[in-house]
Amino acid sequence: MAMQYQTEIVNSIADLVKIDSSQKEALPGMPFGKGAAEALACFLSLARQLGFSTENYDNYIGEAVFGTGEPFAILCHLDVVPAGSGWTRPPFGGTVEDGKLYGRGAMDDKGPAVICLYALKALKDEGRAPRRTIKLIAGCNEESGWACIEHYNKVARMPEEGFTPDADFPVIYAEKGILHACLSFPLPQAPFSSLHGGDAANKVCERAAAAVPHADGARVQKYGLRFADGALVSQGVAAHACHPEEGKNALDALLAYFAEEDARIARIYGLLFKEANGLRAFRDETGALTLSPDIAKYDGEALHVTVDIRYPATYTQEEVCRRLDTFGAPYRLLHCQAPLRNDKNSPLIQTLCRVYERETGERGEPIAIGGGTYARALRRGAGFGPQFPGAPNVIHGKDEYIALADIAKLFRIYKEAIRALCF
């Protein structure tokens, strides 16, 4: 890769990372807050500087366009989950250190969005015209609701085929279904006066606290808690909720502590962290169902817990809800996405496999994931990187980064994938 692209890509990613584009309260003309609107403006400005026509659809979502013919989508997102705690570099600093660019969104998904934009720039500089209209679409609400995609479908026409650089390599042919629900467990006269934890439904709860008049020292030590200033505090480790096993849920230890003294909480703990009335037995070739309790709040009468459920692709939302009905707690569905399942032998999947194998020298077997990507917004869509097999997964965690060496690899892969599918 020409060194000019490497330098420009790194600088452009850093510029975007410096913008806190996590969802905030809506403002006039800014449906997801000021940060998300600024990130979209920054990205579209860059695209225009690189010679592409752009469109901003009311600060919900935007696109850079290249070529003519049958539309092809590259779906990215510019919003991020909240930074959380425990960072050793500024989460919105765009710091480059030890061969890595640090910041929330560096991998998910600002970095890949910028890399794909420069891949289009490199192809454009070669002087060849694509046989398809390539639409690099950048949304601002992927992490918390997909209202951006809903708006796009109202004001524009979504291409039928494409990929999203917001998943894993080699290529994703199937994604589990997603269900976010807020369960309300009746709990009058709880052993705590308040309890709260978590800041995003799709992020493993990394801190939880409960107000109590006193604490059992032996149990505090047993569950690795801290008691200070009238509060029991549980510190966990954040991770993407589609891989809850990669984090440490702070609510686990906190509820386990209270489960030893209150049978009602023992039942709640069992439902949320143990067998969950058989929910975790749901399994197929796309994997087992996962349930991650990520946000909790006690209001004096009930404990409200928002759970992130990723269910296997051959199951339905109705089957999951029937099992949730047995929890004995009323619930509200907050966000639902049906599973995605493509034919492994389709031209899209096989082309992306071949590109991955050619550029990396590694076998490109299609895989299924628990994560939910924009690929399911397309009739024929696939997740394609940026996460390499065996590499540390820092998405949604502290000190998120993109390795500078990987930027060069990703540039080559995405450039050749676009060439193979659109030229």
- Write out pLDDT tens, residues 270-311: 999 998 788 989 999 889 999 999 999 999 999 999 999 999
Does 316 lie in the same domain as 202? yes
Nearest Cα residue to 312 out of 336, 337, 288: 288
Average pLDDT in the 112-129 region?
96
Please state the rounded mean pLDDT for residues 169-195. 97
Q: What is the pLDDT of residues 134-163, one digit of tens each?
A: 999 999 999 988 999 999 999 999 999 999
Distance, in Å, from the CA atom of 52 to the CA atom of 307, rounded to the nearest integer, reads 41
347 and 327 fall within a common domain? no
Q: What is the mean pLDDT of residues 78-98?
A: 96
Q: What total number of domains does the chain contain?
A: 2
Q: Sheet holding 331-337: strands in order across?
A: 226-228, 231-235, 207-211, 194-197, 290-298, 302-311, 177-186, 331-337
So what's the pLDDT on residue 246? 93
Query: Does 198 lie in the same domain as 277?
Result: yes
- CATH of residue 250: 3.30.70.360
Residues in the chain: 423
Say whether both 363 and 261 belong to one domain: no
CATH number (domain holding residue 39): 3.40.630.10
Within this chain, do residues 169 and 184 fall inside the same structural domain, yes or no? no
Do residue 359 and residue 330 come from a single domain?
A: no
- Same domain, yes or no, for 228 and 366? no
Residue 219 lies in domain: 177-337
User: Which member of 79, 108, 175, 400 is catalytic?
Assistant: 79
> In terms of C-beta density within 10 A (0-12 exposed, 13-18 middle, 19 or more buried), how is residue 318 classed?
exposed
Q: What is the mean pLDDT of residues 409-417?
A: 97
Distance CA 414, CA 136 (A): 12
Name the band, by pLDDT with cuts 50, 70 and 90, for residue 126.
Answer: very high
Are both 267 and 167 inside the same structural domain? no
In the residue annotation, 79 being an active-site residue is answered as yes
Domain end among 298, 322, 337: 337
Torsion of the alpha carbons at 63, 68, 69 and 70, rounded to the nearest 10: -10
- Concerning whether 319 is annotated as a catalytic residue, the answer is no
Domain end among 337, 369, 390: 337
Q: Which two tokens stand for residue 176?
A: 């589990």
pLDDT digits (tens, 9 = 90+) for 10-58: 999 999 999 999 999 999 999 999 999 999 999 999 999 999 999 999 9
pTM comes to 0.79
Give me the catalytic one of 63, 142, 143, 168: 142
Mean pLDDT over 376-405 rounds to: 95
Residue 2's pLDDT band (boundaries 50, 70, 90)?
very low
Same domain for 202 and 141? no
Same domain, 113 and 207: no
Amino acid code (one letter) for 409: K
Helices and strands (DSSP H and E) totals, the chain: 10, 24
The H or E element that residue 304 is part of is strand 302-311
Last residue of a domain, one of 313, 337, 361: 337
CA distance 304 to 48: 46
